[in-house]
């Protein structure tokens, strides 16, 4: 989360006061990259956390970013969507000084001791030590731009402003008629460009020219600005390498190329979702069982492995965050309908969160043939199965299976209160005795017990020991030997079709 910065009232307000304060020319004129480096060194010596809230990169990505900052490099983060690239770039503001002075009214935040713009130079020449001074906080020194094909040189660098020229009476060739773009306005700060390959080639040329050489032509007039900016970029590696849309001179001027990745462990993923998902609801208390958190995270892990999901697109970490929030909302809605004071999410609530999944995955040919809903249900079922095996791998569920084989059925519906569902579940012999691996609290509430029992039944369903209808009615396992053989045959046909489709597309990409 962004840190709120306030500007102390005792700071110098004029150039004369600034000269007589501890804000010396050496301190104020230190470059942004030197400032980042010095503050990073101080944090390393104090053993402080460099990027709060970034999980799973401690031994991989963060050391490379630290090295890039210590080397005073411009750098690019390469990674699939949902790998915290933008968050890391925004976290660089924690390495900036709390406040820095600039000439008040300057669009490019001129250094009072070494002004760049004609506006600041004329103002200082006119007012001298009475020149007003303003102050910048770290958040104000961070400028971010999402690169799109329609971005122009005027957006990034600037353009001549005829209206300003008419009002001031200046010639169009005067620098005073310039309307500065985002990059000059990021002077003495950090400028981040997300998805840099989507920037048109000629715009990239203007970007690296002003970055490296300090000059650019606007409407035929040469403009020279020795900007002090730390440049950072992000990109999808598929776009960066396969489509090759970063011009060579710009790539050559990016000091470090750092690759991000998805989280390696379930524990890390759980902590990120717990940190990011909105789980504090004012309407009632929420109790989120550990196994629910694990199932939600397993959905992302399973989807990244599923051959029907496009690996080049990736599966964002935003997926489990959205699923968790939707599952909690469904549990909240059920509790409010039945006048319950505690909401406990169930596996059924995760199935209601499918809208938070289908929009966040891209499907391969086979996935498109099967349909997004079918693929997502399969992914959730596999996630439940993996989590179930972590708790009940050694559990003997034959007694429960026998109860269903003798004709028993049970339905768990949102239309039924937890107390009533608990009474129905208590008919299943041996069910609650098998819940010990979940370490439920003594005298657990009906909501907690129903959620735990449903998890056990869903795991058995995933292993095909029992069956479940779309109306969430659990029954005995179906005898479907012939049906399974037919399904396997169709799976093999679809697999061959998928491979043929991939081969054809791979050949097409080879000619591009």
Measure the CA–CA gap between 488 and 327, rounded to whole angstroms. Answer: 32
pLDDT over threshold 90, residue 1: no
pLDDT per position as a tens digit, 32-62: 999 999 999 999 999 999 999 899 999 999 9
More confident residue, 398 or 478: 398
pLDDT given at position 250: 84
pLDDT per position as a tens digit, 273-311: 999 999 888 878 999 999 999 999 999 999 999 999 998
Element (H, E) at 411: strand 410-411
Reported in sequence order, the residue ranges of 195-260 that DSSP labels E, i.e. its strands, are 215-218, 221-224, 229-235, 256-259
pLDDT per position as a tens digit, 245-270: 788 888 888 899 999 999 999 999 99
Q: Are 196 and 76 in contact (CB under 8 A)?
A: yes
**Is residue 126 classed exposed, middle or buried when 0-12, 13-18 and 19+ CB atoms within 10 A define those classes?**
exposed
pLDDT per position as a tens digit, 471-508: 999 999 876 545 555 566 566 666 666 666 656 665 44
pLDDT per position as a tens digit, 360-372: 999 998 888 889 9
**The whole model's pTM is what?**
0.84
pLDDT per position as a tens digit, 301-352: 999 999 999 988 889 999 999 999 999 999 999 999 999 999 999 999 999 9
CA distances from 221 to 85, 204, 208, 224, 295 (A): 37, 19, 18, 10, 60
């Amino acid at each position: 989360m962004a840190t709120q910065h306030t500007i102390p009232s005792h700071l110098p307000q004029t150039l004369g006061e600034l000269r007589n304060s501890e804000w010396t020319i050496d301190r104020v004129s230190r470059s942004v990259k030197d400032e980042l480096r010095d503050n990073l060194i101080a944090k390393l010596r104090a053993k402080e956390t460099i990027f709060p809230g970034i999980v799973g990169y401690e031994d991989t990505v963060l050391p490379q970013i630290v090295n890039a900052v210590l080397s005073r490099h411009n750098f690019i983060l390469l990674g699939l969507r949902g790998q915290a690239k933008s968050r890391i770039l925004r976290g660089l503001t924690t390495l900036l000084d709390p406040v820095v002075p600039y000439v008040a009214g300057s669009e490019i935040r001129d250094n009072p001791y070494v002004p760049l713009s004609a506006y600041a130079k004329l103002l200082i020449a006119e007012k001298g030590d009475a020149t007003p001074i303003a102050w910048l906080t770290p958040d104000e020194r961070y400028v971010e731009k999402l690169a799109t094909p329609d971005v122009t040189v005027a957006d990034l660098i600037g353009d001549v402003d005829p209206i300003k020229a008419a009002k001031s009476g200046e010639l169009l060739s005067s620098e005073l008629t310039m309307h500065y773009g985002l990059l000059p306005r990021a002077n003495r700060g950090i400028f981040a460009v997300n998805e840099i390959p989507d920037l048109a080639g000629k715009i990239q040329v203007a970007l690296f020219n002003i970055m490296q050489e300090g000059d650019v032509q606007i409407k035929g007039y040469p403009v020279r600005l020795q900007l002090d900016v730390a440049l950072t970029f992000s990109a999808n590696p598929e776009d960066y390498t396969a489509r090759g849309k970063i011009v060579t001179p710009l790539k050559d001027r990016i000091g470090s190329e750092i690759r991000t990745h998805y989280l390696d462990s379930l524990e890390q993923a759980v902590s990120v979702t717990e940190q990011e998902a909105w789980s504090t609801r004012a309407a009632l208390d929420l109790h989120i069982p550990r196994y629910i958190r694990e199932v939600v995270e397993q959905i992302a892990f399973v989807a990244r492995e599923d051959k029907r999901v496009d690996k080049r697109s990736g599966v964002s970490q935003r997926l489990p965050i959205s699923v968790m929030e939707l599952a909690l909302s469904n549990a909240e809605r059920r509790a409010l309908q039945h006048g319950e004071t505690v909401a406990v999410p169930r596996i059924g609530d995760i199935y209601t969160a499918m809208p938070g999944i289908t929009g966040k995955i891209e499907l391969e040919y086979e996935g498109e043939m099967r349909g997004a809903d079918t693929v997502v249900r399969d992914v959730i079922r596999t996630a439940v199965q993996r989590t179930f095996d972590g708790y009940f791998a050694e559990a003997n569920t034959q007694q429960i299976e026998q109860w269903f084989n003798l004709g028993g059925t049970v339905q768990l519906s949102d239309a039924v209160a937890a107390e009533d569902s608990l009474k129905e579940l208590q008919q299943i012999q041996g069910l609650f005795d098998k819940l010990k691996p979940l370490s439920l609290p003594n005298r657990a509430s009906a909501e907690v017990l129903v959620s735990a029992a449903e998890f056990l039944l869903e795991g058995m369903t995933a292993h095909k020991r029992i069956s479940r209808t779309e109306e969430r009615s659990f029954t005995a396992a179906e005898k479907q030997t012939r049906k399974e053989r037919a399904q396997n045959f169709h799976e093999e046909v679809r697999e061959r079709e998928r491979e043929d489709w991939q081969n054809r597309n791979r050949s097409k990409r080879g000619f591009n």
